[in-house]
Amino acid sequence: MENGSSAEIAVVGYEGIVGISLFMGGESTPSRAVVQSAGRGFRLKAPAIKEEFKRIPVLHLLLRYTQALITQMAQTAVCNRHHSLDQQLCRWLLLSLDRLKGNELVRRRS
């Protein structure tokens, strides 16, 4: 927002992608991605993903992913509006755990 405040709208992990506006026809997005857990990721230049989306029809499966992400965003909005902070924390923890390889949010040091 203009004043610098923000709100979470979705959680993405190894199953998904950020920047869906690129293959949906947009050139930019008003949102940003924040890394909250350690792991690996891949970055592609915008022209490359747009070209591959046109060239390889199977990438249209990304549209199904986009539908699922939009559903998650709607559920997050409802949760943020109607649920207690404890319930919102539980939702975030479950979404985050679902996207990790293990079952711990923080790696313990020995």
Q: What is the pLDDT of the chain when averaged over all its residues?
A: 80
pLDDT in tens, 59-88: 777 787 888 888 888 888 888 889 999 998
pTM of the predicted model as reported, rounded to 2 decimal places: 0.50
Domain boundaries, the chain: 1-104
**DSSP assignment string, the chain:** -TTS---------TT--S-TTTTTT-S--S------S--------HHHHHHHHHH-GGGGHHHHHHHHHHHHHHHHHHHHHHS-HHHHHHHHHHHHHHTSSSS-SSPPP-
Residue 44 has pLDDT above 80, yes or no: yes
Q: Which band of pLDDT confidence, cut at 50, 70 and 90, is reported for residue 45?
A: confident
What pLDDT is attached to residue 110? 58
